[in-house]
Amino acid sequence: MESGSVENALDFLTICGQQLMQSELDKFKISIQIIHDYYFALEEKNTFEIQGATTTELPFEGDDMPQVETIAEGADSTKIESFNYPKLEKLLQNALKQQIVIDIT
3-class DSSP assignment, residue 84: strand
pLDDT tens sequence across 29-51: 888 888 888 888 888 777 666 55
> Distances in Å between the alpha carbon of 95 and those of 22, 84, 88?
7, 19, 10
Q: What residues does each domain of the chain span?
A: 5-98
pLDDT tens sequence across 76-99: 888 888 888 888 888 888 888 777
Q: Is residue 74 within 8 Å of 16, Cβ to Cβ?
A: no
Top mean pLDDT of 18-22, 37-41, 54-58, 90-94 is at 18-22
